[in-house]
Amino acid sequence: MLTSKQRAYLRSLANPIETIIYVGKGGMNDQIIKQVDDALTARELIKGKCLENSPLSPREAADLIAPKTNSDVVQVIGSKFVLYRPNPDEPVIVLPKSKKKG
């Protein structure tokens, strides 16, 4: 689970990256899930988009993909969504630490 500070940091990193996942009129399928899984392993942070002819809203698409790829939904804005999953072997993105209350 991401903290608001970590989510804000990931949003700032996601701003300049290109959209690489597109959900079209076919909706969600295993091929898209595999593409997202492979992209998350390689990049950790990816941006997706729901096209106008998609039967899913961007929120629905992100909420369907996230549990299947073990990732977190960072942001859904307009027709785009951002997903994050740290690489267990070689993490590239270092998240800000969350402050513990006590």
pTM: 0.91
Q: Of how many residues is the chain composed?
A: 102
How does the average pLDDT of the chain come out, rounded? Answer: 92
Whether the CB-CB separation of 73 and 82 falls below 8 Å is answered with yes
Return the domain boundaries, the chain.
Answer: 4-84
- Percent of the chain past pLDDT 90, that is, above it, reads 79
Q: What kind of architecture, by CATH, is found in domain 4-84?
A: 2-Layer Sandwich (3.30)
Q: Tokens representing 26?
A: 């076919």
In the prediction, which pLDDT does 100 show? 59
Whether the CB-CB separation of 47 and 19 falls below 8 Å is answered with yes
Q: Tokens representing 23?
A: 């959900």
* Residue found under tokens 């002819």: 53
pLDDT in tens, 23-60: 999 989 999 999 999 999 999 999 999 999 999 999 99
